Amino acid sequence: MEWPSLPLESWRPAQPAILVLALLAGFILLLWSSSHSKGSHAGEGTKEKLPPGPFIWPMVGCLPAVGFKHRHRTFYKLSKKYGPVMQVPIGAAKLIVVHGTAMAQELLKTQDAHFSSRPLSMTGAYLGFDHADVNLTPFNSNWQATRKALSLHLLSPSKLAFQAAMRRYQVCSSVSSLFHKASIEPGTVVNVSSFADRLITNIIVRMLFGNRYRFDSNQACSSQNPAALTIYKALQDFDPDLREGIFLWGELNLADFFPVLAPLDLQGLERRFRRLRKKLENLFELIIQEHRNHPHEGEEEDDFIGMLLSQKQLSDKQLMGIMSNVLIAGIDTTARAIEWAMAELVANPEAIIKAQEELDQVVGKERLVNEMDIEGLPYLQAISKEVLRLHPSAPLDDPHLNEKPSSLGGYYIPANSIILHNLWALGQDESIWDNPTVFNPDRFLRNDEYRAMNVYGGDFRLLPFSSGRRRCPAYQFATLTLQHVVGVLLHAFDWSSSPKGTLNMEESDGIVVGLKHPLLLSVNARLSAMNAT
Ligand code: HEM
């Protein structure tokens, strides 16, 4: 069965008669699809076996076994019974779940060319601007163009070096205000989750638009035309839309799995998608128009969107798709990694002591650690690897899709199957990691082999950014920012769990997994305020 194609028009409510017919047709198709997903399959002339998996119920498929919550953990448990390649069809969607180093290598290296597409989805239709973005778009010329623009003009090593001063400024401003709080009231309670959200939002907004729309509340907007001021204010108030985008992106949307139910909008998600898309579209249109009306307002070199507009190679929809990806996916993934790092460190105070000793020895107490110091700080690097091993921000990767019939691990994989790769399960593998559930940065320093491991996609034992054609294009930016921010927070402050609440490590739900509840920690200054900025 084909994964439904979702142009926006197809999401309009249907007439009742059409609905009844559609329900009937869907019922027959789903029964057909369930009966076809069992047993073996004649693939390209040879009789090959489909992967094993839990019982496939009529209509709903494996939904009862998979459920709605913490799917990376459920899949991991199921894989103990069914092995590294499982089929878990849900409704009309042919879901295949893979895990383990060998399968990661086969999926993302040996067979990367066959599995590099993406399924069409309601998220891609609305938040990917009709699949004109990078993340939610199938493998096609649109993806090649948007991915190239992002990798070359926003996230390349030379762009990262160019943006270093801006990142430093943003990190130091946030530290200053924390210092202010901590010096007025030692032991004050800080919401680390929203601290990370605000800081990463500020950095990413600057990466997209440079100084064009200044974001800090104590600074004037650099551009004095009225549209720029409107955009400046809209970006300041962006957080609720960002939260809504993150929620909608991560929610298991029944309409994607049961297309016949889509017109009913049973979860009320489509209404929310439609509302958010309108808001994002209004904001992004205003940004594009303001750039067109005032082409020489900003400095092109640090205004990514301005630069893409001047090149005239991407459509407005592609630009909107890129802005949507970077703002929604980029902020949450990075902020959640910082949040996990601080939670694990406070839960393991001996790691804080070791990191602070290293910082004091290598950097001293006269100035604050910066990005250039990181190379000489192996323990800080080990902390970031350990955080991404235990808590990869997107534990089930983004869904991959094969457009043609293929095979994985010796099993037949029908065309248009959706492949979920359990990145989180790699970090749980006892054959690679001693006591895998324990937070222990020292594991990365115990010998040369582990010291040399990196998270950039070349080592299939540790893949928080995945690997292959679809690997996260921001892997360098995200690791550098994680190390920089955590280094600064540990160097400048002492941290402990808030006396107002115990440390709750419960995971949130969604495609990006952070802490379920905001992380509240007590903070005391370590360096003198003058040396800390
Ligand atoms: C700790 C932070 C981050 C982690 C752990 C992370 C992880 C990932 C993962 C696992 C994927 C899916 C790869 C695949 O499908 O195989 C991905 C894709 C992507 N990420 Fe990230 N990411 C992070 C930060 C960011 C940031 C900051 C940005 C933007 C500035 C970003 C932009 C993207 C984009 C555009 C894609 C889609 C790539 C494609 O489909 O070609 N990510 N990321």
The complex scores an ipTM of 0.99
The DSSP bridge pattern shows strands 400-401 and 188-191 to be: unpaired
DSSP state of 5: P
Distance between Cα 397 and ligand 1 center (Å): 9
pLDDT at 299 exceeding the cut of 80: no
CA distance 206 to 47: 55
The per-residue pLDDT for 384 is 98
The mean pLDDT of 303-323, rounded to a whole number, is 94
Condensed to tens digits (0 to 9), the pLDDT of residues 150-180 reads: 999 999 999 999 999 999 999 999 999 898 8
N- to C-terminal Cα separation, the chain:
58
Question: Please, what sign has the CA dihedral across residues 241, 166, 209, 131?
Answer: negative
Question: Please, what sign has the CA dihedral across residues 482, 485, 486, 488?
Answer: positive
Q: Are 498 and 522 in contact (CB under 8 A)?
A: yes
Condensed to tens digits (0 to 9), the pLDDT of residues 258-287 reads: 999 999 999 999 999 999 999 999 999 999
The per-residue pLDDT for 302 is 82
- Relative to the CA of 423, which ligand 1 atom is closest? 10
Distance between Cα 113 and ligand 1 center (Å): 19
Give the Cα-Cα-Cα angle 242, 246, 248 (nearest 5 degrees): 115
pLDDT at 401 exceeding the cut of 70: yes
Q: Using DSSP, how many helices (H) and how many strands (E) does the chain show?
A: 21, 11
Going by pLDDT thresholds of 50, 70 and 90, the confidence category of residue 209 is very high
The per-residue pLDDT for 9 is 36
> Is the shortest distance between the CB of 72 and ligand 1 below 6 Å?
no
pTM, rounded to two decimals: 0.91
Q: Note the residue count of the chain.
A: 533
> Is the shortest distance between the CB of 465 and ligand 1 below 6 Å?
yes
CA distance 479 to 316: 30
> Is the shortest distance between the CB of 263 and ligand 1 below 6 Å?
no
Going by pLDDT thresholds of 50, 70 and 90, the confidence category of residue 393 is very high
Average pLDDT, the chain: 89
Condensed to tens digits (0 to 9), the pLDDT of residues 174-205 reads: 999 898 888 889 999 999 999 999 999 999 99
Give the helix ranges, DSSP H, for 217-330.
Answer: 226-236, 239-250, 254-257, 269-293, 304-311, 316-325
Q: Which of 520, 530, 480 is nearest to 497 (CA)?
A: 520
> Is the shortest distance between the CB of 112 and ligand 1 below 6 Å?
no
DSSP state of 264: G
Distance between Cα 225 and ligand 1 center (Å): 34
Count CA atoms within 13 Å of residue 386 on its CB side.
Answer: 27
Count CA atoms within 13 Å of residue 153 on its CB side.
Answer: 25
472 is in an annotated binding site: yes
Q: Measuring from atom 3 of ligand 1, which residue has the nearest CA?
A: 333
